[in-house]
Amino acid sequence: MEKNGYFLYTIQTGDTIYKLSNEFETSVQRIITANSGINIYNLNVGENIIIPVGNVVDTNEYYDSQKMYDNIDSLRIIYPFIQVEEIGKSEREKPIKCIKIGTGNKEVFYNASFHANELITTNVLMKFIEDYARAFTDNTTIYGLNAKNLYYSASLYIVPMVNPDGVDLVTGSIPIVDNAYINAQKIAESFPNIPFPQGWKANITGVDLNLQFPAGWEQAKQIKNAQGFNKPAPRDFVGYGPLTAKEALAIYNFTLRHNFRLVIAYHTQGKVIYWQFLDYNPPMAEEIGRRFANISGYTLAEVPYESSFARI
């Protein structure tokens, strides 16, 4: 009966929210939050209500785009204060979804899975969304911070999967007879040293989304061309111009519409935290990087010159 962290329950004679919360090992607050308008002092026998149980997010299984959309739907049912916005579409017309939690003036932006085979970063942010929403509902803390204070002081925007097509390719969710798969395979044939599809980082057309931004793009192009990435590739092709990939343009436009105090892009593989862009030293950036390094065990690193360009 349990489905994605909640199930429907029909009220029986003698039920109270408190009794149900004990019976199903959930909290009174979670039941009330999931059932807006419910009169907890006068439950209607025969009425169906939502009982949140367990977790929505499974950190042991990879996300493809469909699983992420399903999980986002479930989180919205259990935590209706979560807002979901579509900020654009991928090349295969998959929605790029943004989840907003909080109502405060400080705007913060987290994003993950820019790079297809770094898809575990989606799990990290989905898990964080669920933990935060639950802490807010139960009026508890998250990493030592009062969740309600955080909620009312900051607006957190999270895009857990910037590159849904690339992730679907790596997870085997695009059928091998699909034209998108066949085209990607053709692109990969020119780069036999990069395993296919496991080594795929780009979007489905072979553009590296993290090399698409008009911030030193020409330099990035020169560096990557010299390394042989001068055409669509599983990784490191900067595109034929900045912001030519739909996913990068969506992130760019979304960023322009806001006044983010902090942007954190989740990558993996390197086990390092980058905090700079060339000689720019944003206030607090090094300190924030240091905290991430402490909690993750990764190294706080200077960005290598050749990796400095065209990235978010």
Contact set with Zn ion (CB under 5 A): 115, 118, 267
Q: Which residue number, 49 or 202, has a Cβ lying nearer to Zn ion?
A: 202
Token pair, residue 212, equals 């698409």
Q: Residues 6 or more apart from 36 whose CB is under 8 A from it?
A: 80
β-partners of residue 272 are 299
Q: Which sign, positive or negative, has the C-alpha torsion 144, 148, 154, 160? A: positive
Query: CA-CA distance, 192 to 298, in Å (whole number)?
Result: 31
Query: Who's near 122: CB < 8 A, 6+ residues apart?
Result: 63, 68, 112, 113, 160, 161, 167
* 3-state secondary structure (DSSP) of residue 7: strand
Nearer to Zn ion, 84 or 120 (CB): 120
Smallest separation, CB 115 to Zn ion (Å): 4
In the complex, least distance from residue 157 CB atom to Zn ion, rounded to whole angstroms? 20
Q: Name the residue nearer to Zn ion (CB basis): 31 or 238.
A: 238
Q: Which residue, 148 or 267, is less far from Zn ion as judged by CB?
A: 267
Task: Determine the Cα–Cα distance for residues 189 and 168; give it in Å rounded to an integer.
Answer: 19
Asked if 109 and 257 count as a contact pair (C-beta separation under 8 A), the reply is no
**CA distance readout (Å), 10 to 36, 40, 47, 135:** 16, 14, 5, 27
CB of 188 to Zn ion, least distance (A): 18
The conformation of residue 219, written as its DSSP 8-state character, comes to H
Q: Residue 222 half-sphere exposure, CB side, CA atoms within 13 Å?
A: 7
Q: Which is nearer to Zn ion, 5 or 164 (CB)?
A: 164
Minimal distance, residue 124 CB to Zn ion, in Å: 13
- In degrees rounded to 5, what are phi and psi of residue 213? -95, 145
By C-beta, is 52 or 166 nearer to Zn ion?
166
Nearest CA to 34 out of 156, 158, 133, 118 is that of: 133
To Zn ion, the closest distance from the beta carbon of 260 in angstroms equals 20
Nearer to Zn ion, 126 or 147 (CB): 126
Least gap, CB of 264 to Zn ion (angstroms): 13
Q: What is the dihedral of CA 134, 108, 238, 309, to 10 degrees?
A: -130
Q: Which is nearer to Zn ion, 119 or 187 (CB)?
A: 119
Smallest separation (angstroms) from Zn ion to the CB of 265: 8
Q: Which residue is nearest to Zn ion (CB)?
A: 267
Least distance in angstroms from the C-beta of 160 to Zn ion? 15
